Amino acid sequence: MEGVDYLRDERSKAQFDVETMKVAWAGSPEAFLVCDRMAKLVANDPVFEKFSKPMLGRKELFKNTLRKTAHAWKLVNDLHLTEEEAKWLRHYIDEPSYTDLQWEMFVPALEGQGTEEQKKKWVPLAKTMQIIGTYAQTELGHGSNVQGLETTATFDRQSDEFVIHSPTLTSSKWWPGGLAKVTTHAIVYARLIIDGHFYGVHGFIVQLRSLEDHSPLPGITLGDIGMKFGHGTYNTMDNGVARFDRVRIPRDQMLMRVSQVTKEGKYMKSNVPRQLGYATMVSVRQTIVSDASKALSRAVCIATRYSAIRRQFGSRDGGPETQVLDYKTQQSRLFPLVASAFAFRFASDWLKLLYTDVKQRLEVNDFSTLPEVHACTAGFKSLTTAATAEGIEECRKLCGGHGYLISSGLPELFAFYVPACTYEGENVVMLLQVARFLVKTVSDLGNKQPVGTAAYLGRASLLVQKNCVVQTAEDWLNPIAILEAFEARAARMAVGCCQRLAEFKSPEEGFAELSSDLAEASLAHCQVIVVSTFIRRLQQDIPGRGVKQALEVLCNVYALFLLHKHQGDFLATGYLTPKQASLANDQLRTLYSKVRPNAIALVDSFNHTDHYLSSVLGRYDGNVYPKLYEAALKDPLNDSDIADGIHQYVQPILKQKLHSSKL
């Protein structure tokens, strides 16, 4: 029935104040208000309706998103939204669109890599959308290895221009969002060549289309790279291919903040340190970690609500069956993911602080923390996106058969999310970068005290000797015990790898051979950081009835779940005894019982609108079954009782007249 809250009983069980938890999730009262307002703005505007998406073909999907994007931009202007508000508006519209590239890649690249003069010219054009840009780095043949890009930018001293050229098929730019049909400009990354010498890969502002009639400029071939995973998802966006046939751009369209080419064709480093880019990198990765927490929070919200509605087995004396949320197997798959969503959320909050810290240091030319920051953010990126992608699919499975319907929201969420494991640094490549840092840190331990998130490695010699002192399941609730376990395991893995590396002829050979183990050590290191960030967050004051307590339970769930999952590492390194590992698992089971009464309230704390979730299974009111039915009936196949094709292809079979039919 409409208007009834089928989850009311569940909500009444909550042992904490949901409204304050919403603020804790959002980060601050102000952040909560902005998000809440933007979410509702989107949810209540019919232009942003998205339930009809599954019925649209590629062209319609694309056009539909163009319309939403234009409408959104109109709102930004009409309502004088701040950049922060506009960002949330885009977020809640929940459709990949060219503006993602404009605001998250194009503008930041101009701001980060352009000179003052360049910024003055280009940034206002971009910010008012008089030009629309994309970030054209990846090519058909190269993604991860940016130094292998083949597009060339050859300086022509005569005309004071660069000639942008695609010398091979594999040099075609491939993937950039909006590139196919929408963007008028791109920052094209290309090998700079002056007088036959190669000066590394640089970014160039290239105009792609006429601002008058939108047609591609001479020498530029643009196209769409075709359908992607899922139905809607990235198919709303025109990821594109571009080929350049000796396209000329003025010299001042090379982004010259860090290196310059003079009129005379001299290549010069400017006095701006190369490391400035790190701040942007931290900011981009902060967004990725924040996005991970959001995507995972959506998935667990759907799966948790549906698991409270879904009943299967266990009816006694004709009473209702058991809510599947009450099964320990369901809890052990679901609750760690709820906890992960919070863990990633707090990790992303912390990355914001890190960003400020890095920016301040860069301003005074303090580069000392950069290697550590680089490793930590790369690791965060890899850990959170991998866990989120896996977690979304687990949530889909937790919903049984109905999770397979598009109307559950989960298939499309998965298809939309998974490329995060690949773009902005392929996850395994990222872990290997962390590994390089770890190896270096451990090798330098004699000379250099590691800082920040790697500081614990400074105690490595202690950590490889200490043993866990836990004696009861309760002892595992102690954050100090937890943290030491994670640190000891990570330190032992890192040190262990380094010792084995020393047995190889060359360090490079060893690194290659042991790379898989090194990646595991890196993951262990990243888990230290996520766990410790969660723990530190809880050392702060958190207001609201029961809010802190509920979060403490989640923090312990997160840590002990990881401990159980990676039990092999903890035992292999000898820090834990099997008995201690088993106590941790016992405690974990107890913790699940503590999460259970709060489960619905916890996912309510994300403050997700039904529009944003776009899931029949995850509806706030739990009115699942009638709405599943309603959604089904909208499928075009239900337009008629006898579907197109039946007369032609089925009836001849039934009537045994197939031989004489034309197919």
Site for a copy of itself (CB under 8 A): which residue of 2, 195, 196, 313? Answer: 313
Q: Which does 567 bind (CB under 5 to 8 A by kind): a copy of itself, ligand FAD, none?
A: a copy of itself
Question: Could you say which residues in the range 527-586 bind ligand FAD, by CB under 6 A?
Answer: none
For residues 528 and 635, what is the distance between their CA atoms, to the nearest angstrom?
Answer: 47
**Cβ contact 59:77 at 8 Å:** no
Does 177 bind ligand FAD (CB under 6 A)? Our answer is yes
* Shorter beta-carbon distance to a copy of itself: residue 330 or 348: 330
Site track 179-198 with a copy of itself (rule: CB under 8 A), x = hit: -xxx-x--------------
Question: 226 a known binding residue?
Answer: no
Q: Which does 14 bind (CB under 5 to 8 A by kind): a copy of itself, ligand FAD, none?
A: none
Question: Could you say which residues in the range 234-293 bind ligand FAD, by CB under 6 A?
Answer: 234, 239
Q: Which does 17 bind (CB under 5 to 8 A by kind): a copy of itself, ligand FAD, none?
A: none
For residues 38 and 294, what is the distance between their CA atoms, to the nearest angstrom?
Answer: 15
Does 169 bind a copy of itself (CB under 8 A)? Our answer is yes
Question: Could you say which residues in the range 493-522 bind a copy of itself, by CB under 8 A?
Answer: 512-517, 519
Region near ligand FAD per CB under 6 A, out of 74-82, 424-432, 447-455, 533-541: 424-432
Site track 133-152 with ligand FAD (rule: CB under 6 A), x = hit: -xxxxx---xxx--------
> How far apart, in Å, are the Cα atoms of 191 and each of 118, 292, 627?
20, 33, 55
**Cβ contact 186:206 at 8 Å:** yes
Q: Is the dihedral of CA 24, 26, 28, 29 positive or negative?
A: negative
Q: SS3 letters for 452-489?
A: HHHHHHHHHHHHCCCCCCCCCCHHHHCHHHHHHHHHHH
Question: Could you say which residues in the range 442-501 bind a copy of itself, by CB under 8 A?
Answer: none
Cβ-in-10-Å burial (0-12, 13-18, 19+) of 219 comes to middle
Q: Which does 101 bind (CB under 5 to 8 A by kind): ligand FAD, a copy of itself, none?
A: ligand FAD
Region near a copy of itself per CB under 8 A, out of 256-264, 269-277, 407-415, 455-463: 407-415
DSSP secondary structure string, 558-627? HHHHHHHHTHHHHHHTTSS-HHHHHHHHHHHHHHHHHHGGGHHHHHHTT---HHHH--STT-TT--HHHH
Does 55 bind a copy of itself (CB under 8 A)? Our answer is yes
Q: To the nearest whole angstrom, how small is the minimum distance from the Cβ of residue 77 to ligand FAD?
A: 25
Does 626 bind a copy of itself (CB under 8 A)? Our answer is yes
- What is the length of the chain? 663
Q: Using only the alpha carbons of the chain, give its radius of gyration.
A: 27
Q: Which does 71 bind (CB under 5 to 8 A by kind): ligand FAD, a copy of itself, none?
A: a copy of itself
Q: Which does 505 bind (CB under 5 to 8 A by kind): a copy of itself, ligand FAD, none?
A: none
Q: Which does 644 bind (CB under 5 to 8 A by kind): ligand FAD, a copy of itself, none?
A: a copy of itself
Query: What residues act catalytically?
Result: 424
With CB under 6 A, what is the number of residues at the site for ligand FAD? 33
Q: Which does 502 bind (CB under 5 to 8 A by kind): ligand FAD, a copy of itself, none?
A: none
Does 216 bind a copy of itself (CB under 8 A)? Our answer is yes
Which residue type occupies 83? E
**Cβ contact 139:174 at 8 Å:** yes
Residues 6+ apart with CB under 8 A from 113: 187, 203, 255, 257, 258, 277
For residues 582 and 474, what is the distance between their CA atoms, to the nearest angstrom?
Answer: 12
Q: Which does 113 bind (CB under 5 to 8 A by kind): a copy of itself, ligand FAD, none?
A: none
Cβ-in-10-Å burial (0-12, 13-18, 19+) of 399 comes to buried
- Token pair listed for 601: 């309230």
Q: To the nearest whole angstrom, how small is the minimum distance from the Cβ of residue 411 to a copy of itself?
A: 4
* Shorter beta-carbon distance to ligand FAD: residue 329 or 540: 329
Question: Could you say which residues in the range 298-337 bind ligand FAD, by CB under 6 A?
Answer: 310, 312-313, 324, 327, 329-330
For residues 625 and 630, what is the distance between their CA atoms, to the nearest angstrom?
Answer: 9
Does 536 bind a copy of itself (CB under 8 A)? Our answer is no
Site for ligand FAD (CB under 6 A): which residue of 23, 241, 398, 601? Answer: 398
- Token pair listed for 19: 């409204």
**Cβ contact 293:384 at 8 Å:** yes
Does 585 bind a copy of itself (CB under 8 A)? Our answer is yes
Cβ-in-10-Å burial (0-12, 13-18, 19+) of 644 comes to exposed
Q: To the nearest whole angstrom, how small is the minimum distance from the Cβ of residue 28 to ligand FAD?
A: 31
For residues 182 and 663, what is the distance between their CA atoms, to the nearest angstrom?
Answer: 41
Does 618 bind ligand FAD (CB under 6 A)? Our answer is no
- Token pair listed for 237: 């966006």
Does 140 bind a copy of itself (CB under 8 A)? Our answer is yes
Residues 6+ apart with CB under 8 A from 492: 463, 464, 573, 574, 575
Region near a copy of itself per CB under 8 A, out of 52-60, 246-254, 337-345, 600-608: 52-60
Does 28 bind a copy of itself (CB under 8 A)? Our answer is no
Question: 577 a known binding residue?
Answer: no
Question: Could you say which residues in the range 92-111 bind ligand FAD, by CB under 6 A?
Answer: 101
Nearest C-alpha neighbor of 430 from the set 391, 388, 377: 377
Measured from the Cβ of residue 638, the count of other Cβ atoms closer than 10 Å reads 10
- Alpha carbon dihedral 616, 617, 621, 624, in 10-degree steps, equals 80
* Shorter beta-carbon distance to a copy of itself: residue 87 or 352: 87
In the annotated binding site, the residues are 138, 177
The residue ranges that bind ligand FAD (CB under 6 A) are 101, 134-138, 142-144, 175-177, 234, 239, 310, 312-313, 324, 327, 329-330, 398, 400-402, 404, 419, 422-423, 426, 428-429, 432
In the annotated binding site for FAD, the residues are 138, 177
